[in-house]
């Protein structure tokens, strides 16, 4: 499955292949820096890269420093800003400043530690990579606020840096319809692992969704098997209560960060009435975004998909 956030995994693979590798992490930003704190770039000893620490304006300079760090086996802390001649030369002239920590794998970041990080990510276990005066370690407790906000950064001592590695975002779509054909690739580019659930074989065919994971179970069984957690979004697209409602009920009993259901205002009112009869409270039902998506005047499946992904992003980053 292709992903856009497999930077630690890539660094570990390069290291184990004998190429040498380093992880470069944005540890501080000021002004209009293009990437947030915690963003990472993996660099191999041959100069291969995966990920980014800027909008492309300092990567070349970071790669040069990282290859040297791999050779010397020592970490390096890099500063780039408009007042820095080297950074200006590579294009960071917009007033932003970034600080990047480069850690060679093996000599600085132990391979076993990186391996444990990769295993935690694969198991969908939130973990914090902590580096500071006391060394490097993984922690699963004590960073609740950072996990919730998906926010890496320095602790109050100004010397201990916490890099948050939350489980990859997931998107569960009930209804392998035309909108889903547009939404799946968009969501994948945005960093989601998508899953389609539709018991109707003609809808979820390989021809319509080449290479995608399509589960032909009843929706409630499908979401239970796949799992619903705080890093998951559920999108209901069938218009059919027999298919949508079972999955919706499962979602309302979970911690999913987003629930969206396709349909008009009238359709949603009927949905609300059914859920009230099923015993759900007003606050629980209010978690559902229906009609689904931001009101951007979307016309056609692709634009509706854009509006859905935009609303998911707003809820993820700014809350409901």
Give the chain's domains with CATH numbers: 7-165 (no CATH), 169-318 (3.40.50.720)
Q: What is the pLDDT of residues 290-310, one digit of tens each?
A: 999 999 999 999 999 999 999
Q: What is the pLDDT of residues 23-59, one digit of tens each?
A: 999 999 887 667 889 999 999 999 999 998 887 778 8
pLDDT for 85 = 53
* Dihedral sign (CA 42, 48, 52, 53): positive
Compute the chain's Rg from CA coordinates: 22
Contacts 24+ apart (CB under 8 A), 125-131: 125/167, 126/164, 126/165, 126/166, 126/167, 127/165, 128/162, 128/163, 128/164, 128/165, 129/162, 129/163, 129/165, 130/160, 130/161, 130/162, 130/163, 131/101, 131/103, 131/160, 131/161, 131/163
H-helix or E-strand containing 274? helix 265-277
pLDDT tops 50 at residue 3: no
Q: Can you list the alpha helix ranges (DSSP code H) found in 95-235?
A: 111-122, 144-149, 178-189, 219-226
Question: CA 10, 16, 19, 20: dihedral to nearest 10 degrees?
Answer: 80
pLDDT category of residue 207 using cuts at 50, 70 and 90: confident
Angle at 281 between CA 276 and CA 285, to 5 degrees: 75
pLDDT for 4 = 53
Q: What tokens were used for 281?
A: 């409270």
The structure tokens 């290291």 sit at 15
CA-wise closest residue to 255 among 176, 148, 157: 148
More confident residue, 59 or 311: 311
pLDDT category of residue 223 using cuts at 50, 70 and 90: confident
Q: What is the pLDDT of residues 140-180, one digit of tens each?
A: 999 988 987 889 999 999 999 999 999 888 999 999 999 99
Q: Other CB atoms closer than 10 Å to residue 216's CB: what's the count? A: 15
Instruction: Please tell me the least confidently modeled range out of 2-11, 119-128, 194-203, 296-305.
Output: 2-11
pLDDT for 282 = 94
pLDDT tops 70 at residue 84: no
pLDDT for 1 = 34
Q: b/e for 89-119, b at 16 or more Cβ within 10 A?
A: ebebeeebbbbbbbbbbbbbbeeeebeebbe
């Amino acid at each position: 499955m292709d992903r856009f956030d497999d930077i630690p995994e890539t660094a570990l693979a390069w290291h184990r292949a004998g190429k040498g590798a380093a992880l470069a992490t944005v540890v501080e930003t000021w002004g209009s820096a293009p990437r947030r704190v915690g963003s990472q770039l993996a660099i191999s000893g041959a100069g291969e890269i995966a990920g980014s620490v800027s909008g492309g304006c300092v990567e070349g300079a970071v790669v040069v420093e990282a290859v040297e760090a791999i050779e010397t086996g020592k970490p390096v802390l890099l500063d780039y800003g408009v007042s820095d001649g080297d950074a200006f030369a590579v294009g960071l002239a917009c007033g932003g400043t970034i600080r990047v920590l480069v850690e060679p794998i093996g000599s600085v970041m132990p391979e076993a530690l990186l391996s444990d990080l990769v295993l935690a990510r694969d198991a969908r276990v939130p973990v914090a990579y902590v580096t500071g005066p006391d060394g490097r370690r993984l922690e699963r407790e004590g960073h609740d606020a950072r996990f919730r906000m998906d926010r890496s950064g320095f602790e109050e001592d100004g010397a201990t840096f916490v890099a948050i590695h939350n489980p990859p975002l997931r998107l569960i779509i009930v209804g392998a319809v035309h909108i889903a054909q547009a939404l799946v690739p968009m969501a994948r580019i945005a960093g989601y692992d998508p899953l389609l659930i539709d018991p109707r074989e003609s809808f979820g065919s390989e021809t319509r969704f080449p290479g995608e994971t399509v589960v032909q179970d009843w929706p409630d069984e499908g979401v239970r098997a796949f799992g619903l957690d705080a890093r998951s979004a559920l999108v209901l697209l069938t218009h059919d209560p027999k298919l949508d409602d079972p999955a919706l009920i499962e979602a309302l009993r979970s911690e999913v960060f987003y629930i969206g259901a396709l349909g008009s205002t009238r359709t949603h009112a009927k949905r609300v009435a059914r859920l009230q009869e099923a015993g759900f409270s007003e606050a629980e039902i209010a978690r559902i975004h229906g009609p689904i998506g931001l009101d951007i005047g979307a016309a056609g499946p692709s634009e509706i998909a854009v509006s859905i992904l935009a609303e998911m992003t707003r809820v993820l980053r700014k809350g409901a």
